[in-house]
Amino acid sequence: MFGRLSQLARHFSRPLPNYAHRSAAFGSGTHTYPAMAATSAQGKSMIHTAAALIIGDEVLGGKVETVDTNSAFFAKFCFRLGIQLKRIEVIADDEDEIVEATRRMSNNYDFVVTSGGIGPTHDDITYQSIAKAFDLPLVLHEEAYERMKRLSKPHPSKPKFNWDEPSPALEAKKRMVLLPIDKNRPLDEQAVFVDEELWVPISVVNGNIHILPGIPRLFERMLDALKPQLLPRLRDPEGKGIHRIMISTPMPESSVAGYLTELAAKVEARGIKVGSYPRWGKARNTVTLVGRDVEYMRSLVPEVEKAVDGKRVVVEGEDDSE
């Protein structure tokens, strides 16, 4: 599937232009949020937790050219926005697995993204599988189809492709705009167009599952463009996110384990997590403080530096030469 990256990129977009956002609302839907879940000013459920589902046989097969980078990008995206990323799963292009995973994730997390499996070929089964998961029909999305005809670039081998003449190629293209649609929800809440230069929408199912392409440059571009719609639903609407402070230490983990255990217990009530990360083959390891209360975290730095015989760094490894 990912061997067709250039072909799908040609389908989905023009050459990368400036971004243009289109506002869109998100429905509360049938997703089971906690009973006391807070809502934003717009009445939408707040986003505290997230999960990602990476779909693709080629990822599990270890194809070098299809190494998954979307997981790392999504993790950083959530960290910057202060969303707790709780789970990332990689599964095959298997209908039963997609059905089970999306049902479970939709029920357990506030914001779920899927990556992959929405191309024109037989193994692109994400839309149909998620439709089955929530008992929804697949419906040709007219606006997406019109945008596809207007914005997608023809394949070099078929420069005069005929959109009005029935053909196997046309049917394959239409597979990419057959979206899971709930007739009880507004249509514009189920297909969110985030970029005026892309015809492919973010399909939103069950109120919190967001179906994105697996092509990294499209996944990243569309997720970034979705950010303005997410900000009002975050605990920190200004998007300040979570903070990480790193302290470099020459001491082995076994020597600092006792102190870090005590420190973790002390700061847990303040929402601070303490981490310890060995750096194989390097002279120095890294201790981290992660949380939202950055002022309190900064106040801990002198104590931690003294206890681990270390010093604060901005970039891990910046003091390796010493």
Chain segment 29-63, per-residue pLDDT in tens? 343 433 334 554 445 689 999 999 999 998 888 87
The whole-model pTM stands at 0.77
Q: Cα Rg for the chain, rounded, in angstroms?
A: 23
Quick one: pLDDT at residue 66? 63
Q: What residues have CB less than 8 Å from 43, skipping those under 6 apart?
A: 28
pLDDT of 268 strictly over 60: yes
C-alpha 164/C-alpha 243 separation (Å) is 53
Read off the pLDDT of residues 166-218 as tens digits, 9 standing for 90 and up: 999 999 999 999 999 999 999 999 999 999 999 999 999 999 999 999 999 99
| Residue 126 pLDDT class (50, 70, 90 cuts) | very high
Helix (H) or strand (E) holding 263: helix 253-267
Map residue 85 onto helix, strand or coil. strand
Q: How many CB atoms lie within 10 A of CB 205?
A: 26
- pLDDT band, residue 10 (cuts 50/70/90): very low
pLDDT tops 90 at residue 64? no
User: What are the extents of the domains in the chain?
Assistant: 49-151+167-233, 243-313
Query: What does the alpha-carbon distance between residue 38 and residue 234 come to, in Å, rounded to a whole number?
Result: 10
DSSP 34: -
Closest by CA position to 266, among listed 247, 289, 249: 289
Task: Mean pLDDT check: name the lowest of 98-107, 155-164, 232-241, 307-316.
Answer: 232-241
Task: Check pLDDT > 80 for residue 5.
Answer: no
CB atoms within 10 A of CB 29: 21
With bands split at pLDDT 50, 70 and 90, how would you rate the model's confidence at 239?
low
For residues 30, 204, 122, 3, the Cα torsion angle rounded to the nearest 10 degrees is -140
Q: Determine whether 231 is exposed, middle or buried from the number of CB atoms within 10 Å of its CB (0-12, 13-18, 19+).
A: middle
The answer to whether 134 touches 206, Cβ cutoff 8 Å, is yes
CATH for 243-313 is: 3.30.70
Q: What is the pLDDT of residue 26?
A: 32
pLDDT band at 21 (very low <50, low <70, confident <90, very high): very low
Q: What's the pLDDT at 34?
A: 38
Please give the pLDDT value at position 157.
80
Mean pLDDT of the chain: 85
The pLDDT tens digits of the residues spanning 147-179 come to 999 998 877 887 788 898 999 999 999 999 999
Q: Where are the alpha helices (DSSP H) in 14-166?
A: 57-60, 70-81, 95-108, 126-133, 142-151
Q: Tell me, what's the pLDDT at 154?
A: 77
C-alpha–C-alpha distance, residues 256 and 275, integer Å: 11
49-151+167-233 CATH, one of 3.90.230.10, 3.30.420.40, 3.40.980.10, 3.30.300.20: 3.40.980.10
**Which pair of tokens denotes residue 98?**
């997609």
How would residue 275 be classed by pLDDT, with cut points 50, 70 and 90? very high
Bridge-based pairing of strands 111-115 and 49-55 is: parallel
Spatial separation of the C-alpha atoms in residues 4 and 315, rounded to whole Å: 36
